[in-house]
Amino acid sequence: MDDKRRRNRKKAVLPVRVSGNDSSGKAYSDLVHTLDITEAGARLGGLRHGLEIGAEVILQYKQHRASFRVVWTEAVPGHNEHRVGLQALDTKSLWAFGSELRTEPAAAGVLTTPVPSEA
């Protein structure tokens, strides 16, 4: 993985709605969460549906919607859940705060909350 991609990744747990068709072709719409985000993609956790690599999905964050492509997927051992890596298909950023996202330090066991940086 190249260093530039690592630098641009922001750890953020945000509630998002993901919708599309699962690996059996059945339509779904689920509330899941991001694990980290970039302007070009996201890593999601909490999916209850197996997704095919290459499948297109729609993510909704607040009132914003954008199309993504599944680039990798993994089952979480011991849980009925999947994680997926997504690549943005839209040129606009789904994350309203985009590259200005910063995170507050988290206490042990507490999820980090993203906040827009103050200009």
pTM over 0.75: no
Read off the pLDDT of each residue in 85-112 and give the average, rounded to a whole number.
Answer: 60
Read off the pLDDT of each residue in 54-62 and give the average, rounded to a whole number.
Answer: 93
pLDDT band at 17 (very low <50, low <70, confident <90, very high): very high
More confident position, 24 or 102: 24
Is 50 domain-assigned?
yes
**Residue 17 lies in domain:** 3-94
**Phi, psi angle pair for 6, to nearest 5°:** -65, -40
Task: Write the single-letter amino acid at 8.
Answer: N
Grouping H, G, I as helix, E, B as strand and the rest as coil, residue 98 is helix
Is 114 domain-assigned?
no
Is 101 domain-assigned?
no
The tally of domains found in the chain comes to 1
CA 109 to chain centre: 21
- Maximum C-alpha span of the chain: 47
Q: Name, in order, each residue with C-beta under 8 angstroms of 75's C-beta and a sequence gap of 6 or more.
A: 50, 81, 82
